[in-house]
Amino acid sequence: MKQLLFEDDPQFWFETLRVFGHASYGGSDFGEVVATASRIKPGDYDSWHDEWLAAAERLAAEADRVAAAHPISARDAYLRASTYYRSAEFFLHGLPADPRIAYAYDRSVDCFHRAIEGFAGVERVEIPYEGHVLRGYFYRAPGTGPRPILVAHNGFDGSAEEVHFFGAAGGQERGYHVLAFDGPGQPSAIHRDGLAFRPDWEHVVGPVLDFVLADPGVDPDKVALLGLSLGGMLAPRAAAFDERVKAVVAVDGVFDAGSAVTAFLPWDRAEIERRANAPQDEELDKLLAAGRAASPTLRWATDHGRYVMGAATDREFLAKYLTYTLDGGVAERIKCPTLVCEAADDLFFNGDGETQPEPRRLYERLTGPKTLLSFTAEEGADAHCHVGAQRLATARVFDWLDETL
């Protein structure tokens, strides 16, 4: 898709398109996004924060002002404010102690909570997990009797609140229960409890399935699992080890998450892994620093990656991130039907010209029933996770689930 804003900064453009896309389910408004983004200085994290925060504060104040007399208007404003607060703190994670992070994150979640008070059948949940809780939302479909359920989670940088726009609202209106949650490394777990990511995601999904299957309204024979972005590797990983998952959706499919970073380096994967895990490697450190300076995407990914992976340095983040793979026979263990989505112009996982795009690598390794679903530029859906075409992506995913379950 043509970059309409931030022509020299693909990362700022992608995050802007992501916000645009949430308009599909009421999470943004086109004019608000254009007006806000047009005031941001390209590549300037402080400017990005300041403008999105100002937009969020204005909307939240308006929602507070009209809440008693006009609850629908307030609900809509709170939902958009939640998106803009989340955007405000998105690029600040390179300095985790920055107080602006906690403020914007807390306000984003609070506004989302205020918004869902106006939606029928949506409740906040806390799922027991290794002495902590995983926080999320249960979207209960209307009607009686056991219903199919979609358990959905985000990826490297998205939240359970954002899943509202990536399938939760769309699933509920189609007759599915949906459970959206944050696992370790994802926003509520890292912000509230300091729980960093872990690659063995079956140990995360297991307690979540225990929780939903205890609900008499859930049909245990129609349990689907969906993961977004890095979740496109995590959800298949969980499905490989938990037979309670009857169908899995990878949006978009990821076989080896480390490819998003190794593409910037001159060695093969084995050499990069050896260097990343060495006690020291000045050459790799210099290349990572140079990559950060040259690539807005690598700059953001390493900043955020240190934060969510519990890493002190970019090299330590890389070492941890290289463990996020379905190699070693994991992909081949998946027996349930699997939907692998791919984007024609994926910013992160589109291969480097010599290696295939990650969705294709995952699809080819699957041995069970499988479907590859491609999204194109002609559809306006070619960006990572189809952020510019969320209604289209939601429809195709749930159509596949209808036919599969």
User: For 348-402, how does the pLDDT look when each residue is reduced to its tens digit (9 = 90+)?
Assistant: 888 766 778 999 999 999 999 999 999 999 999 999 999 999 999 999 999 999 9
Exposed/middle/buried for residue 97 (C-beta within 10 Å: 0-12, 13-18, 19+): exposed
Which pLDDT band holds residue 263 (cuts at 50, 70, 90)?
confident
Tell me whether residue 38 is one of the annotated catalytic residues. Answer: no
Convert the pLDDT of each residue in 270-294 to its tens digit: 999 999 999 999 999 999 999 999 9
Distance, in Å, from the CA atom of 76 to the CA atom of 115, rounded to the nearest integer, reads 7
Could you tell me which of 156, 11, 161 has the C-alpha nearest to residue 86?
A: 161
Which pLDDT band holds residue 347 (cuts at 50, 70, 90)?
confident
Could you tell me which of 26, 3, 5 has the C-alpha nearest to residue 390?
A: 26
Q: Out of 28, 108, 188, 229, which one is annotated catalytic?
A: 229
pTM higher than 0.85, yes or no?
yes
- Mean pLDDT throughout 334-342? 98
Could you tell me which of 100, 51, 59 has the C-alpha nearest to residue 82?
A: 59
C-alpha distances in angstroms, 104 versus 79, 92, 248, 316? Answer: 14, 11, 33, 28
For residue 353, the model assigns a pLDDT of 67
Q: Judge contact between 79 and 27, C-beta under 8 A.
A: yes
Could you tell me which of 393, 332, 338, 390 has the C-alpha nearest to residue 369?
A: 338
The owner of tokens 């939907």 is 339
For residue 4, the model assigns a pLDDT of 86
Please compute, for residue 273, the number of CA atoms within 13 A of its CA located in the half-sphere on the CB side: 12
For residue 2, the model assigns a pLDDT of 81
C-alpha distances in angstroms, 265 versus 236, 259, 270, 298? Answer: 27, 10, 12, 11
Distance, in Å, from the CA atom of 17 to the CA atom of 343, rounded to the nearest integer, reads 14
Cβ neighbours, 10 Å, residue 359: 26
Please report, for the chain, the start and end positions of each structural domain, with discontinuous segments joined by +: 10-115, 122-257+324-404, 260-321
What is the torsional sign of CA 395, 397, 401, 403? positive
For residue 141, the model assigns a pLDDT of 96
Convert the pLDDT of each residue in 144-201 to its tens digit: 889 999 999 999 999 999 999 999 999 999 999 999 999 999 999 999 999 999 999 9
The long-range contacts involving 39-42, CB below 8 angstroms and separated by at least 24 positions, are 40/6, 40/12, 42/6, 42/8, 42/9, 42/12
Distance, in Å, from the CA atom of 309 to the CA atom of 317, rounded to the nearest integer, reads 6
Our measurement of the distance from residue 65's CA atom to the centroid of its chain's CA atoms, rounded to an integer in Å, reads 32
Distance, in Å, from the CA atom of 363 to the CA atom of 310, rounded to the nearest integer, reads 30
Distance, in Å, from the CA atom of 180 to the CA atom of 175, rounded to the nearest integer, reads 16
C-alpha distances in angstroms, 161 versus 115, 165, 229, 369, 398? Answer: 11, 8, 15, 31, 19
Distance, in Å, from the CA atom of 302 to the CA atom of 313, rounded to the nearest integer, reads 9
Distance, in Å, from the CA atom of 373 to the CA atom of 377, rounded to the nearest integer, reads 14
Query: 282: Cβ–Cβ under 8 A, 6 or more apart, which residues?
Result: none
Record: fold of 10-115: de novo design (two linked rop proteins) (1.20.1440)
Convert the pLDDT of each residue in 102-136 to its tens digit: 999 999 999 999 999 999 999 999 999 999 999 99
φ and ψ of 247, to 5 deg = -160, 145
Distance, in Å, from the CA atom of 243 to the CA atom of 330, rounded to the nearest integer, reads 14
Architecture of the domain whose range is 122-257+324-404:
3-Layer(aba) Sandwich (3.40)
Please compute, for residue 246, the number of CA atoms within 13 A of its CA located in the half-sphere on the CB side: 16
Distance, in Å, from the CA atom of 170 to the CA atom of 142, rounded to the nearest integer, reads 13
What is residue 157's DSSP assignment?
A: S
Secondary structure element (H or E) that encloses residue 340, with its range: strand 338-343
